[in-house]
Structure 1
Amino acid sequence: MLMRTYSLLLPLFLSNTQQLLAADVMPALSIHLPAETIDTTDTHSRCPSVLNQHRISYLETQIIKHRQIYYAGKTPLLHDGEFDLLVDELAVLSHCLSPALTQVGSKVEQYNARQPHREQMLSLNSVRERSLVDKFYQRHHDQQLLVQPKVDGMAVELVYEKGILVAASSRGNGKQGRDLLALMLRSHAVDSIIAYPHTLVIHGELYVEQKDWQQRGKYVSSRHMTAGITSQLSPKQIDVMSLRFMPWRWVDSPYKDEIMSLVQLAMLGFADMSKMSHAIDSPKDIDYWLAHYQNTETLLLDGIVIKLANNVQQRQYGQTQHAPRWALALKFTGPKGLSNVIDITYQVGKSGRITPVVHVQPLALSGHQVTRVSGRSQPWLLQSKIEVGSQVEIELVGNAIPQLTRVVSNR
């Protein structure tokens, strides 16, 4: 994946991550280069004085390992946030080592890439620091900006020819991805025939709603469920029918305005993303929509996207090798707190799956009283060495679900 200065390939994950056999769906499937589209000096300021090739190799190995666990349908051993940190570090180190050679993609994606994209599928630059968002806003303050929720699923490309769905593929390495056409035709995520006589190329997010994930009970998150369904050779029809699609880009749209493009897609039968696209006039508007979508419970969201509203300006600003210059993703950061483990019990689901439940001393987080949290799986619990008396860190993720993030200390 990252091999010194010969062929540096930067992993994509999930938004973007995006946020997956490369960039398809695993935690953090989008590239988290903290600042290249904002200010290249910001990225280089994060570079260590001495680049450690062994560290890069270690990060590469760990990311590949945990991707494979994810796609094998097993319970992830890392929390999404922990995986994101590995991806973030690898992205920055790869850029520091040789920015000119950095590309979208990774070795892991190559063997699974089958369907060429009509338009390269880039990841978004994702940041967690509000100061970087303010810098992006100031750079574009004289242009109309939009805020949209960042659905946490799998980025896909759909292609229609004369109104017929002829291709569907995952992001993969950005240039080609897994062929998902048969899966999309089985699902009701999109119509296979639409009233549009020309070529139509759409980029969007394939996802599962929270309620459907909770009813199935087999996966650790709705994003994990999306990954599981799309990676199976013959997924169950009940699972396939739970897939949804949210468009976020009409490639080469004939319309100047992005919202108008989304309105027209809605008229063709796609989910209406225009209703979740909000014009902003100040940084306070960003704060408002960040808080609004952080409390959404219907969809699994991992942040918001700030972008130029004008399609012509988007094309003028263009892109780097891995991300558009006209958009930025701000990742959610949930409230965290420490508590002590007072008991560990186990619950058995309808499918026979056994899930450990970690009971903790009452912890108040943003108006929520947390007394217990999922232990994910017995292997993860053992690996983390969590036991009665352990002090653990708990975080409320986007839709107020408490998750264990790390063990602070043991007895």
Structure 2
Amino acid sequence: MTVESTAARTPRRSAGNKAGTTGTKRTTSTTKKATGARKSAEPALVQLLTPEGKRVKNAEFDKYVADITADDLRGLYRDMVLTRRFDAEATSLQRQGELGLWASLLGQEAAQIGSGRALRDDDYVFPTYREHGVAWCRGVDPTNLLGMFRGVNNGGWDPNGNNFHLYTIVIGSQALHATGYAMGVTKDGADSAVIAYFGDGASSQGDVAEAFTFSAVYNAPVVFFCQNNQWAISEPTEKQSRVPLYQRAQGFGFPGVRVDGNDVLANLAVTKWALERARAGEGPTLVEAFTYRMGAHTTSDDPTRYRHDEERAAWEAKDPILRLRRHLEVSNHADEGFFAELETESEALGKRVREAVRAMPDPDHFAIFENVYADGHALVDEERAQFAAYQASFADEDGGK
């Protein structure tokens, strides 16, 4: 299937309604019609691998993965398996009190590994706080991702060492950072590209809209990679947008495409295409990876309060790792020895991560009171004293230990 024209998919807006009760009724009717039309015209995904592991031919995007080998496929599978194992270990460590918080990527491995492996070494990445798979592709040691979530540092790696920026907690701000960086790349005359990751919830932020505007006007070599995992914490995507997210690009003057976010080959191909457009001076692209967050938004979230088990079960059938495994098995590209060896490697990674986190120092409980004001503040001093008394109360209960 080909990329569909965003113009053809954008619902037409009705003419202005008359005032009064008649106008109110017509507005309701128009809204229902628009909603019905939108559902019936829901765009197809760019897909190269079905949930059953069957290869799909796509004349427009096959050329971007035409040279992929059996070794490459096994490599993509390994990336996803090890990323998921690391993520599971980090979640367990948080539950054991070793981390203060963790944002799981469970279910989004194909979107991150596929897009991450499409990047060149000289490309630059601006992530959110969930791009553990992209970090893996950029060569960032997984243990370095955990210091911030333990509260012992503000990042843990040199952004310029891997062209992978520090995690961004402020929702959507990294889109502006990426756009500014991409504008600088153009000024420097380089042919590298920039990619900004964000979620469907962040697409509603003003920072993202501003980034779209500036990138289009200045023809910046940036790819906006939106992982639409269906839920902005507890808010579903349909409560955020009247149109599919990728269609928003049309209003800013650059192309958008929706890709099957659970298909690692499709993500690899579409991201390569978007990056090549950027390097060729054709400006920004919005890629919407249509995927699903299998776990909680973060470990402080309870997804059972706002979504049904049936929904998760339907997406489990589209699992990105199982999909590629089926393809490897059907194509005879991997045997049981490969999977067994990978399982051993996976457990070794989990052990290394566990030991590294437990070897980290405890966070400084009073660091949050530092650098709030340059010259200090009476209220902060009062809060520090209250917190110190609270901490001391635990020592008193334990006999002064």
* Greater strand proportion: 1
**TM-score over 0.5 for the alignment?**
no
CA radius of gyration, larger in: 2
Please tell me the TM-score bracket, short chain as reference.
under 0.3
Relative contact order (C-alpha < 8 Å, sep 6+): which is higher? 2
TM-score, scaled to structure 1: 0.27
